[in-house]
Amino acid sequence: MPDFRYKARNKGGKEVSGQIAANTKKDALDMLARQNLFPISVEDANKGEIDIGKWFSRRPPDSVIAAFLRQLAELLENGVPVLTAFQVLEKQEPNPVLKEVIGDIYERVSEGEAIDSAFAAHAKIFNDLTLSVIQAGTEGAFLEDSLKRTARFMEQQAELKGKIIGAMIYPTILCVVGVTVLTVLMVFFVPKFQPIFDSIIDSGGQLPGATTALLAFKSFVGKYGLYVLAALVGLFIFLRIQMMTKKGRRFFDRWKLKIPLIGPIVLRSAVSRFCRVLGTLLENGVPILRALEISSHSTGNTLLEEAVEKSAESVSSGEPLSRPLASAELLPPQVMAMITIAEESNSLETVLVNIADSIEKEIAKKLDVLVSLLEPMMLLLLAGGVFFIIVGLLLPVFKMTENI
């Protein structure tokens, strides 16, 4: 049971202070009232204390937050009171960060704070989309539906992210294994053949071209490897700093779209996020200008974000959404045609969600193709590096055997 530090006045008007144990701040206020004290301030006694564990706490995964929102919607749909629903979910929540957040939301709601305001106090846990949908659902009296739709959106996004990560696991393992094998060969095997190379040179012979290139590469890495590594680290830090600026992000986002095979996947992923976020917000009654503002930040691409912001300006002046989006030439023509028709038929939110579904299926197919190309390419590079080292090591041995 937490402790609360209070300042209050008694019946005689004298100021008193102390500490009281209560489940919530509301309970603490009730206990003070029963003691004929008039509270001036009541605060959590632990507030301001350093909690080292929080330094290492991470935002719960989207899948965990989606499960919480879906369970909350189901409890409310089945007639469970709001406070009871939060109590039940707090007790069964395994994630410590989200458990603490649910407990705080419960306390805020029990003290009379609105649900959307209680959620908004944890903007680091719940993104703009979730908070806007909850606000719209609270104001429009359809909170349960809005929570379910938000949970479904987050689950779909987590599934897409999982597919992308899963598709890149095997190529990443191949890359790590390849670098490790080549490093072991260069560090441990090449030096063992150095006496043979020296004897050939001392006898007036010449090393094969492959061996000369291998030794030159080894010598370069030995002399300048640390400098090259430091330069790469410096370049990485420089690029990270540049990506923090709007101009730098714009340059890198434009460059990413031009990469063969990867560029189309990046663009379609950004378009899919925009369509799904905007469609989900509109389905839940969020005003279109606010929905466009949130969806522009969720694209993950500066070029598309700017196009959406221009669209918001056009919509605010009474123009259609599709015109500035089409002028940006980022959305595929078939997507633009569907958005234009959806605006005319007043079914934009449904069409946007359907567009996102179809694009994500297309992304999954393109990822399969990309992985199927990456795997043999990386195997060939690994085999080529190993073959080059082995040839460079064995050719002088064969040459010595012929001379003998």
pLDDT in tens, the chain (404 residues): 566 777 887 777 778 888 777 766 667 777 778 777 777 777 766 654 434 344 345 778 888 898 999 999 999 888 888 889 999 999 888 888 889 899 888 888 888 888 888 888 888 888 777 887 787 777 766 788 878 878 887 887 777 777 777 777 887 888 888 888 888 888 787 888 888 778 777 777 777 888 888 888 888 878 888 898 899 999 999 888 887 787 888 888 888 888 887 888 888 888 888 888 888 878 877 788 888 887 787 777 888 888 888 888 877 777 777 777 777 777 788 888 888 888 778 788 888 888 888 888 888 888 778 878 877 888 888 888 888 888 888 887 776 666 55
pLDDT for the residue numbered 231:
93
Query: Could you give the strand order of the β-sheet that contains 15-21, starting from the edge strand earlier in sequence?
Result: 15-21, 3-9, 38-44
3-state SS, residue 6: strand
Looking at residue 23, its pLDDT comes to 64
Q: How far apart, in whole angstroms, are the C-alpha atoms of residue 39 and residue 276?
A: 48
CA-based nearest residue to 353, from 287, 275, 301 = 275
Domain 3-49 has CATH 3.10.20: yes
Q: What are the extents of the domains in the chain?
A: 3-49, 56-157, 164-404
Number of neighbouring beta carbons within 10 Å of residue 206: 11
Look up the pTM and report it.
0.63
- Residue 234: the pLDDT is 93
Task: List the CATH code of the domain at 56-157.
Answer: 1.20.81.30
Q: What is the pLDDT of residue 233?
A: 93
Shared fold status for 3-49 and 56-157: no
Q: Which fold does the domain 164-404 belong to in CATH? A: Receptor-associated Protein (1.20.81)
